């Protein structure tokens, strides 16, 4: 049963649902119908990475429950995270709390890297904090491990230089760069490069 829509992105919409059979609240990411034709390959890649995430359990990474590839539209059922985005809550936290959050995020990302999973879209809005300020990393929609794929995608303020140059390989360092930008923003109140899209991309 649908409770509410939580958000919409370039590839999908996320809903808060009540699982009537197991009596629990879950989240569902539904592939947008207007994107299926153009992004079906990307959607399959995302679902493949979601299946990889289901192979291990880390309390700092959103848990995947089910991938329904044959439904119309395709849908991913996952853990519902009740909390606040790091970008909203971060400025009100003590610096020690901010540092601990980033330490936990870095440790979780390292575990994902050990499995060959690179997030490639780390940003404050993809990191949720619960009541105990424990982080939970969301949205592996751009995740991949192929160094030749995924260029010119991501969120402007957090893209690494190699993501803007198709001649350069993308690897785990792309996530390290994004975490550096997030930490900078947590400490300084703004990302290192500001301005309109073209100005930020030129600076990166």
Which residue out of 19, 45, 107, 121 is catalytically annotated?
Answer: 121
Annotated catalytic, 121? Answer: yes
CA distance 73 to 15: 14
Whether residue 41 contacts residue 150, with contact meaning beta carbons closer than 8 Å, is answered with: no
Whether residue 45 contacts residue 5, with contact meaning beta carbons closer than 8 Å, is answered with: no
Two tokens, residue 78 = 């996952």
Q: DSSP character for 63?
A: P
* Cis preceding linkage at 73, omega within 30: yes
The Cβ of residue 40 has, within 10 Å, a number of other Cβ atoms equal to 12
Helix axes 95-114, 173-188, angle to 10 degrees: 170
CA distance 39 to 5: 22
Whether residue 64 contacts residue 48, with contact meaning beta carbons closer than 8 Å, is answered with: no
CA distance 46 to 161: 23
Q: Please identify every residue annotated as catalytic.
A: 121
């Amino acid at each position: 049963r649908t409770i509410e829509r939580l958000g919409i992105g370039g590839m999908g919409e996320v809903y808060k649902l009540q699982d009537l059979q197991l009596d629990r609240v879950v989240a569902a990411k539904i592939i947008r119908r207007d994107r299926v034709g153009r992004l079906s390959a990307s959607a399959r890649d995302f679902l493949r990475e979601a299946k990889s995430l289901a192979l291990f359990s880390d309390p700092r990474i959103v848990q995947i429950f089910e991938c329904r590839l044959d439904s119309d539209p395709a849908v991913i059922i996952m853990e519902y995270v009740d909390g606040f985005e790091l970008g909203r809550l971060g400025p009100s936290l003590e610096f020690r709390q901010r540092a601990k959050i980033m330490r936990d995020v870095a440790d979780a990302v390292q575990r994902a890297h050990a499995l060959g999973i690179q997030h490639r879209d780390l940003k404050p809005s993809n990191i949720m904090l619960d009541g105990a300020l424990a982080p939970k990393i969301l949205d592996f929609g751009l995740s991949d491990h192929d160094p030749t794929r995924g260029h010119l995608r991501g969120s402007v303020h957090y893209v690494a230089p190699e993501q803007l140059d198709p001649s350069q390989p993308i690897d785990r360092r792309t996530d390290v760069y994004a975490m550096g930008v997030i930490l900078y923003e947590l400490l300084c109140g703004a990302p290192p490069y500001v301005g309109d899209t073209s100005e930020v991309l030129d600076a990166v």
